[in-house]
Amino acid sequence: MGFDFAQIDRILNARSIAIVGASNNPLKFGGMLTASQLTMGFAGPVYLVNANENEIMGHAAYPDLLSLPETPDLVYIVIPADRSLEVLEQCGRRGVRGVVMIPAGFREVSEEGKGLEKEALRLARQGGFRIIGPNCFGIYNPRNRLTLLPGVDFSTTPGDVAFLSQSGGFSTHVVRLSQSLGLRFSALVSYGNGVDIDAPDLLRYFGRDPQTRVIGAYLEGVRDGRAFLDALKKAASEKPVVLWKVGKAATAQQAVMSHTGSLAGSAEIWEAALRQTRAIQVSGIDELCDVLLTLRHLGLKPGRRLLVSAGGGGLGANAADLAALAGLEIPALNEGTGRKLTEILSRAGAVVSNPLDIGTPLLPPPMFEAAMREAAANPNTDVLIFDLAMNFAMRMAGEEGLYQVADVLIRVREASGKPVVMVLYSRACDADDLEPERILRQMRAKLLEKGVAVFPSMRRAMRAIALVN
């Protein structure tokens, strides 16, 4: 079926929903989804459907779709695969336009499941509705407050990152981790087996969606390689697309087949095909989120010339190795900058060079600010990176002193207009000492809110900057 922007848009922005298989049992998927959706507070009627219950979590339950007072925009099916087809048949009769099929048990498990899936698609075509799934977690949209299974704690603040995912589990991981990093979503679709609405449709949709500025995708395999590549090329020519493709190894291909019934395809073919697109390829959830964060705060192609600063010679030497590995540059300081930094840091035991060793983990704030302003203003610097040895610094200056470091970097970022990155970690990870972690998270939230990107290691910062260049 051809791509239709309006159809997908109507599903994602549904104004009324029904949950078939809603349940009082919090351990069932139907109970989990119901609880999540009620907690999230969907912006419209939520009809709970279960033939065996009169009331679910304090709300009236309906025996079937046909007895609902209105036709919902979107129906969630959360009952076992073999019983889901009759619900699809009812969807057609009722004039429903969109369905999310949560259950597994289709083409990923057996020939029989493959037959069920085919029949589901036939019913959709016959009934004039579109399907997301099966074998998925569904939709998250902060605008109308649709949420994933079990995304009770997802933010209701809309943002500009869209995400599509064949894995339900990774969908929720990506939202949680991204939220901690201050990223917000336009929408997310966990589409599982993608029997009807598939990766190419979602890429085209988010490529055109004006709310979406960056697209992320977790992909196991595709059915129609040509259609996928065309859609990816088009989307990536319009906005950054960050693609995490798994299933490159032979053993992974087997795992992919039992997970979403997809053909993962050989690593070589994928490499060659993806090189034709502008998609940014990442590997793993951490790298994915690092790149989304980098795109937000540094933009596409911020430049490869770094000025790396830290309190300690080892940190700088290691950073220089990592930059070379990532294909980034650490050019010599401009002469004027070097002179000014030498003046500012004359009493600190600093080594004025690039990497810039400020001599101690923590300088007095006015000296630190003067130095960082000069460093950011250095003409051949594209990105300023500061690596804080937090365990030392905390001992030297305490909590308030650390927040002052954050404030300095925020001001330098604002004044210079150049991207500023902070590498922030704690080496104190004892079970009974959560204090450094608490302070670190407060600092990170503050920095991220004001446009300073934060990474948990120099290696990850370098890798992410290299990927967006």
Per CB under 8 A, contacts with its own copies among 100-129 are: 104, 108
For the four alpha carbons of 287, 293, 298 and 300, in that order, the dihedral sign comes to: positive
DSSP, collapsed to helix, strand or coil, labels residue 250 as helix
CB-nearer residue toward its own copies: 20 or 181: 181
Task: List the one residue from 314, 336, 366, 379 that touches its own copies (CB under 8 A).
Answer: 314
CB of 196 to its own copies, least distance (A): 20
CB-nearer residue toward its own copies: 400 or 430: 430
CB-nearer residue toward its own copies: 231 or 330: 330
Q: Tell me: does residue 6 bind its own copies (CB under 8 A).
A: no
User: Residue 353 and residue 342: Cα distance in Å, rounded?
Assistant: 9
Nearest to 209, CA basis, from 244, 155, 162, 243: 162
Q: In whole angstroms, what separates CA 330 from the centre of its chain? A: 29
Candidates 1-9, 57-65, 167-175, 198-206: pick the segment binding its own copies (CB under 8 A).
Answer: 167-175
CB-nearer residue toward its own copies: 39 or 211: 39
CB-nearer residue toward its own copies: 215 or 363: 363
Q: Tell me: does residue 457 bind its own copies (CB under 8 A).
A: yes
User: Residue 376 and residue 374: Cα distance in Å, rounded?
Assistant: 5
Q: Tell me: does residue 312 bind its own copies (CB under 8 A).
A: yes
Query: What track of x and - describes contact with its own copies for positions 188 through 217 (by CB under 8 A)?
Result: ------------------------------
What part of residues 130-149 is at the interface with its own copies (CB under 8 A)? none
Q: Tell me: does residue 83 bind its own copies (CB under 8 A).
A: no
Decide if 369 contacts 411 (C-beta within 8 A): yes
CB-nearer residue toward its own copies: 240 or 316: 316
Nearest to 298, CA basis, from 214, 180, 178, 209: 214
Task: List the one residue from 91, 330, 406, 421 that touches its own copies (CB under 8 A).
Answer: 330
What part of residues 387-446 is at the interface with its own copies (CB under 8 A)? 389, 391-392, 395-396, 427-432, 434, 437-438, 441-442, 444-445
CB of 405 to its own copies, least distance (A): 16
CB of 284 to its own copies, least distance (A): 6
Widest CA span in the chain:
81
Q: Tell me: does residue 324 bind its own copies (CB under 8 A).
A: yes
CB-nearer residue toward its own copies: 74 or 291: 291
User: Residue 354 and residue 376: Cα distance in Å, rounded?
Assistant: 12
Q: Tell me: does residue 380 bind its own copies (CB under 8 A).
A: no
Q: Tell me: does residue 3 bind its own copies (CB under 8 A).
A: no
Alpha helices in 158-220 (DSSP H): 168-180, 199-208
Triad 27, 64, 138: Cα angle to 5°: 50
Decide if 30 contacts 18 (C-beta within 8 A): no
CB of 10 to its own copies, least distance (A): 28
User: Residue 85 and residue 94: Cα distance in Å, rounded?
Assistant: 14
The token pair at 23 is: 């349940």
Q: Tell me: does residue 157 bind its own copies (CB under 8 A).
A: no
CB of 199 to its own copies, least distance (A): 15
Number of helical H runs and strand E runs in the chain: 16, 18
What part of residues 340-359 is at the interface with its own copies (CB under 8 A)? 349, 351, 353-355, 357
CB-nearer residue toward its own copies: 238 or 286: 286
What part of residues 227-256 is at the interface with its own copies (CB under 8 A)? 246-252, 254-256
> How far apart are the two ends of the chain, measured CA to CA in Å?
36
Q: Tell me: does residue 316 bind its own copies (CB under 8 A).
A: yes
DSSP string, 19-54: EET--S-TTSHHHHHHHHHHHHT-SS-EEEE-TT-S
DSSP string, 259-271: HH------HHHHH
CB-nearer residue toward its own copies: 239 or 296: 296
